[in-house]
């Protein structure tokens, strides 16, 4: 009986955690755009649609089932179609019940869909995720899936005259912009939120923005972070230092200073504490995550800056494994897993780069994680084929295929928050009168896709209003 009660409690706790779904990436870790939870008793069934494994090879007729959600409660048979595009995560129908797209759907009587990206969540085209089987994982295939999806739904539901508007955040924001660019006859408009449309290998600007966002909150905070990272680097180079580092940061082993990959892994791990808080700088009870972080980093009574940094590392769980080889070993596992890291990192190795290096003197996170480290992961996890030239060619290809920072497009809204490090690879100036850029001061990653909230900065609410007005014009 006691056992049963405990399980019930655990279950409730798990449900509370699960109520905010996180999607998106920073560095080597998975977190992200926070999806609203599905609340209430209405049940929305998952649905499936057959798709070709390879849209670009008529000699390959294999198929798989793509998952999606559909919500028609506002639709009377002749309104528009709104599609939330899934990116590198498992879809959850929360965006069909609240958020920006939902409120527009209510206003316009739209039919809503949420499509899952191939190779993520339960949309599994292949037996496993070996490098060979992941050759069908790329944005070209994923956009073709959505194009087929639209054609199929329109025929099956006899709604061929309905206009289609797509919404996406982060990588799926790229997808929204690019699918409108590529298939304008199928999609009449796109909202691309926090979309890093410019592919780039060495994305050192990421930590420049993290630094600037900390500085803007409190210049002393950025200075103390810099001192903490300097102290950590000095300690790594000193006799007996690695042992002290292990103790300070709750590591499982002394960091292996002979391995540059291990050191990069460690310093990247410490930097990601800041990345995750700045990228999703949510305000809870009037306090932003940045201010909570900086309160610790500037609190001299905790000790030296390096000790304040150590204070931010979670010490409650198991020790932290920062062995590069262990990480690679885990990543080489070809089984499907609930962590989408293997699939997403694969995409970065041959399509996007986006590697958040320490290669800038405008950032305060030390000097020890360079582009080599991130490309080593590509080679060590996916095979020798995935080396630097493949990355450079793949990035060039992505920018050629989709227009990079200078796309020639109409009816795409590019929305960014200037606190969000990803805005550095997005479009911040109007492309033309039909494709405006909205840069929201004081806002972070994909916040515009959510519903209005009391803690929102006024500019964020105004941005949502503007998006709604523009989409309404598209639908006239």
Ligand X SMILES: *[C@@H]1O[C@H](CO)[C@@H](O)[C@H](O)[C@H]1NC(C)=O
Q: At what angle do helices 388-402 and 371-382 cross, to 10 degrees?
A: 100
Residue of 182, 124, 155, 174 whose CA lies nearest to 335 = 124
Question: Site size for ligand X, by CB under 6 A?
Answer: 15
Q: How far is the CB of 188 from ligand X (least distance, A)?
A: 15
Instruction: Choose among 33, 26, 67, 27: nearest CA to 417.
Output: 33
Residue 420 annotated among the catalytic residues of the structure: yes
DSSP state string for 401-417: HH-TTS---SSEEEEEE
Please pick, among 224, 380, 418, 420, the residue that the annotation labels catalytic. 420
Closest listed residue to residue 349, CA positions, set 381, 396, 296, 386:
386
Q: Kindly state whether residue 337 participates in binding ligand X, applying the rule CB under 6 A.
A: yes
Map the footprint of ligand X across residues 338-397, applying CB under 6 A.
Answer: 361
Build a one-symbol-per-residue string for 19-58: x at contacts with ligand X by CB under 6 A, - elsewhere: ----------------------------------------
Please say which residue, 67 or 108, places its beta carbon nearer to ligand X.
108
Q: Which of 127, 299, 432, 472 binds ligand X (CB under 6 A)?
A: 299
Nearer to ligand X, 81 or 199 (CB): 81
121 backbone φψ class: left, alpha, beta (φ>0; ψ -120 to 50): left
Q: How far is residue 381's CA from residue 139's CA, in Å, rounded to a whole number?
A: 20
Q: Where are the beta strands (DSSP E) in 326-384?
A: 353-355
Burial label for 4, CB within 10 Å (0-12, 13-18, 19+), is exposed
For residues 314 and 335, which CB has a smaller minimum distance to ligand X in the complex? 335
Of residues 123, 112, 65, the one with CA closest to residue 90:
123
Tokens, residue 273: 């504490």
Considering the complex, state which of residue 297 and residue 463 has its C-beta at the smaller distance from ligand X. Answer: 297
- Joined tokens for residue 24: 């998106």
Find the shortest distance in angstroms from Cβ 107 to ligand X.
8
| Rounded least distance, CB 193 to ligand X, Å | 24
Applying CB under 6 A, which of residues 301, 454, 469, 476 lies at the interface with ligand X? 301
Residue ranges in 154-173 that form contacts with ligand X under rule CB under 6 A: 158
CA distances from 18 to 113, 114, 142, 171, 314 (A): 21, 19, 27, 22, 20
Stretch that binds ligand X, among 123-131, 140-148, 331-339, 414-422 (CB under 6 A): 331-339
Residue 238 interacting with ligand X (CB under 6 A)? no
In the bound state with ligand X, the residue whose beta carbon lies nearer, of 285 and 301, is 301
Does residue 152 interact with ligand X by CB under 6 A? no
Q: Residue 66: count other Cβ atoms within 10 Å of its Cβ.
A: 25
| Residue 157: CB minimum distance to ligand X, A | 9
The dihedrals phi and psi of 464, each to the nearest 5 degrees, come to -60, -40
Least separation, in Å, of the C-beta of 242 and ligand X? 26
5, 41, 76, 314: which one binds ligand X (CB under 6 A): 76
Does 242 engage in binding with ligand X (CB under 6 A)?
no
Can residue 472 be called a binding residue for ligand X (CB under 6 A)?
no
For residue 351, count other CB atoms closer than 10 A to its CB: 21
Q: Which two tokens stand for residue 397?
A: 């290809």
- Contacts (CB under 6 A) with ligand X, residues 109-128: 109
For ligand X, the closer CB: 337 or 432? 337
Q: Does 476 bind ligand X (CB under 6 A)?
A: no
* From 75-83, 238-246, 318-326, 462-470, span contacting ligand X (CB under 6 A): 75-83
Please answer whether residues 355 and 378 qualify as being in contact, where contact means their C-beta atoms are separated by less than 8 angstroms: no
Q: Which is nearer to ligand X, 60 or 430 (CB)?
A: 60
**Hey, what are 181's tokens?**
């660019």
* Contact in structure between 26 and 348 (CB atoms under 8 Å): no
- Can you tell me which of 302, 371, 405, 437 binds ligand X, judged by CB under 6 A? 302
Both structure tokens of 447:
């916040």
Q: Read off the tokens for 98.
A: 């609240």
- CB-nearer residue toward ligand X: 214 or 427: 214
Tell me if 87 contacts ligand X by CB under 6 A.
no
| Residue 429 among the catalytic residues | no
Binding footprint of ligand X on the chain (CB under 6 A): 61, 76, 78-79, 108-109, 158, 295, 299, 301-302, 333, 335, 337, 361
Q: Which residue numbers are catalytic?
A: 170, 420, 445
């Amino acid at each position: 009986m006691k056992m049963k009660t405990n399980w019930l409690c655990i279950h409730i706790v798990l449900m509370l955690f699960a109520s905010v779904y996180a999607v998106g990436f920073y560095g080597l870790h998975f977190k992200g755009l926070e999806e609203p939870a599905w609340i209430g008793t209405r049940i929305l069934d998952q649905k499936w649609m057959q798709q070709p494994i390879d849209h670009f090879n008529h000699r390959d007729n294999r198929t798989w089932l793509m998952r999606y959600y559909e919500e028609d409660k506002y639709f009377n048979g002749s309104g528009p179609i709104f599609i939330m595009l899934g990116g590198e995560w498992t879809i959850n129908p929360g965006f069909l019940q609240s958020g920006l797209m939902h409120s527009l759907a209510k206003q316009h009587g739209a039919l809503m869909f949420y499509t899952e990206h191939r190779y993520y969540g339960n949309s599994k085209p292949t037996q496993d995720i070996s490098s060979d089987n992941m050759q069908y994982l790329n944005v070209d295939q994923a956009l073709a899936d959505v194009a087929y999806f639209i054609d199929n739904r329109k025929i099956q539901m006899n709604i061929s005259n309905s206009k289609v508007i797509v919404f996406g955040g982060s990588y799926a924001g790229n997808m929204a912009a690019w699918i409108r660019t590529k298939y304008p006859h199928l999609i009449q408009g796109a909202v691309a939120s926090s979309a890093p449309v410019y592919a780039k290998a060495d994305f050192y600007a990421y930590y420049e923005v993290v630094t600037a966002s900390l500085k803007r909150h409190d210049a002393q905070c950025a200075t103390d972070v810099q001192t903490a990272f300097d102290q950590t680097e000095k300690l790594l180079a000193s006799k007996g230092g690695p042992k002290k580092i292990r103790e300070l940061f709750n590591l499982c082993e002394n960091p292996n200073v002979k391995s540059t990959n291990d050191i990069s892994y460690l310093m990247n791990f410490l930097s990601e504490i800041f990345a995750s808080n700045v990228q999703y700088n949510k305000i809870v009870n009037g306090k932003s995550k940045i201010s909570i972080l900086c309160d610790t980093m500037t609190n001299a009574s905790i000790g030296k800056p390096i000790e304040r940094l150590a204070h931010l590392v979670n010490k409650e769980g198991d020790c932290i494994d920062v062995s590069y080889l262990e990480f690679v070993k885990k990543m080489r596992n070809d089984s499907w897993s609930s962590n989408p890291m293997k699939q997403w990192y694969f995409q970065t190795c041959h399509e996007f780069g986006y590697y958040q290096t320490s290669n800038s003197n405008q950032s305060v996170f030390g000097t020890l994680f360079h582009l080599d480290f991130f490309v080593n992961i590509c080679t060590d996890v996916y095979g020798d084929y995935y080396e630097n030239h493949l990355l450079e060619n793949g990035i060039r290809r992505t920018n050629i295929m989709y227009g990079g920072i200078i796309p020639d497009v109409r009816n795409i809204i590019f929305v960014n928050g200037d606190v969000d490090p990803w805005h550095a690879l997005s479009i911040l100036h109007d492309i033309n009168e039909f494709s405006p850029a909205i840069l929201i001061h004081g806002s972070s990653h994909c916040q515009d896709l959510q519903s209005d909230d009391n803690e929102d900065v006024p500019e964020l609410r105004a941005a949502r209003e503007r998006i709604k007005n523009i989409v309404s014009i598209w639908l006239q």
